[in-house]
Amino acid sequence: MADRGKDPERSVPSRKHSWRRQPAPPPSPPAPTPPSATAQTSPGPVRHDHRSIVESALYRDGRRVSSPDTLAETFRWLRETRDGMAWIGLHRPSEAELLSLAEEFDLHPLAVEDALEAHQRPKLERYGETLFVVLRAARYLDAPEEVDFGELHVFIGRDFLITVRHGAAPDLSAVRRRMEETPELLALGPEAVLYAILDAVVDGYVPVVSGVQNDIDEIETEVFRGDPEVSRRIYELSREIVEFQRATRPLVGMLHGLMAGFAKYGTDEELQRYLRDVADHVTHTSERVDGFRQALTEILTVNATLVTQQQNAEMRALAEAGFEQNEEIKKISSWAAILFAPTLVGTIYGMNFEVMPELSWSFGYPFAIGLMGMVCVSLYVIFKRRGWL
């Protein structure tokens, strides 16, 4: 945009502070020059890097009239047309491309910064006559059973609409086909395209809601089946639902804000009906998501209770096993003590000493046997009374 003064076709003043484009003056005929000089001095056409431009189209009365390859061609056509509309779709644009659009369409620097950095919350803001909308789209991935979120930034002006997409969702090509198949709706202008984008984002939530509901049903089954990995799955799904809630809940306020401005901005009555329908769907989806979070909280509580009960049962089983083991040890210890007494007596009388009082006593042997029996019976009675035997 720095060479506006050098290019006669781009010498029209910038659109800053003026929302009605002035028709470009007819270019003056160039002075004749020799073919050789032209070949040596004529610069090639200025080309813009448009790798991030998914699709750019120009519309008049709801019908596509042109599909320019570069932003410069789009700008030139809009300057020359009073009743046209440009719809520019970008995917992760470069800073140079977005700044070029900002200069041409007088986009607010804060909105441009948000579109470049992404990771914004859903919101709707007005900067003069430009509406800036941030949406969080979602899609359910069947294979990993998880929710993938995308981010979409939309700039809406009097005769232009710019979409900046970060992520795979939503599929704006389907939105464009739908609008081009209904030119009477597309003829209503950029607000109609915004409705179609909102409707596509909200409709994209439906399979996500179904997928999350199916995951919750599976988690409930796993909880009561005692699957040890269910806690991790509950945590991961809870994070997805929180993210889903952040995507859907602000939409309710955003659409009510749009509906509050119907009279002020002269929104078409048919378009008002469409937007109210989208608002109803968003409210329903938001309520479902809130219900999912509550259900997961209750499931987590039930799972914690079941885990605690299982742990208590295991601890009780361990305690009972320990008690039984202690009883066995008591029995073994008791019998070992009983058997130790005659062993002790027999060991003493088995010593090889010549001088022992009992060796020459005629009652020595009966006395030793009786002593062994008396000690064993005494120990047996003591252990029996204590419940060890």
Question: The pTM is what?
Answer: 0.67
Q: Tell me the pLDDT tens digit for each residue of 305-360.
A: 887 887 788 888 888 888 888 877 878 888 887 777 777 777 776 766 566 676 67
The highest-confidence range among 195-204, 293-302, 371-380, by mean pLDDT, is 195-204
For residues 284 and 239, the answer to whether their CB atoms sit within 8 Å is: no
Please name which of 128, 10, 19 lies closest in space to residue 75, comparing C-alpha atoms: 10
Residue with token string 């061609």: 73
List, for residues 359-378, the tens digit of each pLDDT value: 677 777 787 788 888 888 88
User: Do 145 and 211 form a contact (C-beta atoms < 8 A)?
Assistant: yes
C-alpha to C-alpha distances, 60 to 23, 40, 77, 138, 266, nearest whole angstrom: 16, 40, 11, 32, 20
Q: How confident is the model at residue 132 (pLDDT cuts 50, 70, 90)?
A: very high
pLDDT at 11 (0 to 100): 34
Place 197 in a pLDDT band, splitting at 50, 70 and 90: very high
Q: Which amino acid is at 34?
A: P
How far is residue 33's CA from residue 31's CA, in Å, rounded to a whole number? 6
State the CB neighbour count (10 A cutoff) for residue 32. Answer: 7
**Does 22 score more than 80 pLDDT?**
no
| Best CA proximity match to 21, nearest among 126, 159, 154, 127 | 159
Top pLDDT among 349 and 41 is at 349
In whole angstroms, what is the distance from residue 133 CA to residue 4 CA?
A: 30
Residue 200 pLDDT: 92
